Amino acid sequence: MRSPGDELEHLRSQSLFRQLRTLDSPQAVRVEVDGRSLDNFSSNDYLALADHPLIKQAFKTGIDQFGVGSGASRLVCGTLRPHQDLENAVAELKSAQAALTFSSGFATAHGLVCSLMTKGDTIVLDKLAHACLIDAARLSGATIRVFPHNDLNKLGKILRAVNSARPADARVLIITESIFSMDGDAAPLAGIIALKKEFDALLLLDEAHAFGILGPGGAGLARQLGVQNEVDFQMGTFSKALGLSGGYVACTRDFRDLFINRARSFIYSTAPSPALAHATTFAIGLIQSKEGDALRERLRRNVQTLADALGKSPPPAGIFPLIIGDEYAALDAARQLLEKGFLVPAIRFPTVPRGTARLRITLSAAHTSDQIQSLGKCID
């Protein structure tokens, strides 16, 4: 029988071994690690809300009014008023009939895809879709087809081929992200919607890295383009720009009811803390306020500053990948930046395909221009 030591040694030999790093400070653009103060360019806390005084206060108010725990799964007796308020706030922000929340984005993806899809159905996935979407697709038992990243031509061909042998009640579900988590680019959403209509498919759009950042009030890419009514499932997470945790889907009332009845990650898991739900509703109000607009503007300016420093064009949201290729070289580049006081992660297989290892720089509204300029100088 193989030992864990052998497996770990194998990972080390390929520069794929990973380990945890503990922060001794709140999540912020400067963090304390091993007694050092580092400039943090690795967090998804794009709007610097993870340690926001008003959201922390809302969390405390939520504890005082509703307690710390939910006591049961949502269907048993774990649905408290803050859960319902949060779902109303998400539905309104997304201009959808209804919304349902989960304990994480990961659990949302599993709940949705496995509720909707089964043997005989077909899932058509962008090649760079997040691991939780891929795993959910596999678990559902549906047939999986993968199209090259953002390739509308290939997506159309796959949809046409699937339709030529499609039973009347079989579902076809296209899955993509609005901003890709490791590449930072946007999906060609208008083109995907044209295809989903032409071939009578459903569309699941993972807005994880666009929620809070793009569109009016930070509602996401679908709202930015005004196509939210054409996206069957606007899913996302409260764990990135909202600085909290938990996942959501905005959809029709019927689909919400279906998920409540079928989604195993919803049914067989204790409801998230009501205090967290209360704080999340507050954070949704904050991103829709003038302060939210100001934070998004500051993030955009910071992205432009780094783009100028690196002589590149600015990406559409807060993610700046610098592709290096070799896994060891990427680790080495991250190590050199760490020595200079910058926390920038090397992203490697299996998070990205082999041979496409990269530095993934993420920007926050709270970075100072000086921090960004200094990072730019160390990378050039």
Comparing C-alpha atoms, which of 246, 253, 255 is closest to residue 98? 253
Of the candidates 311, 325, 295, which has an alpha carbon nearest to the alpha carbon of residue 217? 295
Contact between 43 and ligand PLP per CB under 6 A: no
- Which of 89, 98, 132, 242 binds ligand PLP (CB under 6 A)? It is 132
185-190, long-range: CB < 8 A, 24+ apart? 185/150, 185/315, 185/316, 186/210, 186/221, 186/316, 186/317, 187/126, 187/150, 187/221, 188/150, 188/152, 189/221, 189/222, 189/225, 189/227, 189/231, 190/225, 190/227
Residues belonging to the chain: 380
Contacts (CB under 6 A) with ligand PLP, residues 79-118: 104-106
The interface region with ligand PLP, picked from 205-213, 218-226, 274-282, 338-346 by CB under 6 A, is: 205-213
Which residues in the 325-344 window bind ligand PLP by CB under 6 A?
none
Which of 249, 239, 234 lies closest to 111 in space, CA to CA?
249
Site for ligand PLP in 225-254 (CB under 6 A): 237, 239, 245, 247
96-106 burial, b for 16+ CB within 10 Å, e for fewer?
A: bebbbbbbbbb
Cβ closest to ligand PLP, residue 39 vs residue 177: 177
- Positions annotated as catalytic residues are 44, 130, 177, 181, 206, 209, 240
194, 153 Cβ separation under 8 angstroms: no
- CA-CA distance, 273 to 277, in Å (whole number)? 6
Which phi and psi (to 5°) does residue 65 adopt?
-85, -35
In the shown chain, the binding pattern of residues 274 to 313 toward ligand PLP, with x for contact by CB under 6 A and - for none, equals ----------------------------------------
Does residue number 181 form part of the binding site for ligand PLP (CB under 6 A)?
A: yes
CB 207 within 8 Å of CB 234 = yes
Residues 38, 339: Cα–Cα separation, whole Å: 10
CB of 1 to ligand PLP, least distance (A): 32
Number of residues binding to ligand PLP, judged by CB under 6 A: 14
Min dist. Cβ of residue 105 to ligand PLP (A):
2
- By CB under 6 A, name the one of 83, 94, 110, 130 that touches ligand PLP: 130
Burial of 291 (0-12, 13-18, 19+ CB in 10 A): middle
* Closer of 39 and 206 to ligand PLP (Cβ): 206
Choose between 135 and 326: whose C-beta lies nearer to ligand PLP. Answer: 135
- CB 340, min distance to ligand PLP, A: 27
Q: Which is nearer to ligand PLP, 125 or 162 (CB)?
A: 125
Judged by beta carbon, residue 208 or residue 379, the one nearer ligand PLP is 208
Report the nearest approach of ligand PLP to the CB of residue 248 (Å).
9
Choosing from 45, 87, 183, 206, the residue that interacts with ligand PLP (CB under 6 A) is 206
Judged by the rule CB under 6 A, the positions of this chain that interact with ligand PLP are 104-106, 130, 132, 177, 181, 206, 208-209, 237, 239, 245, 247
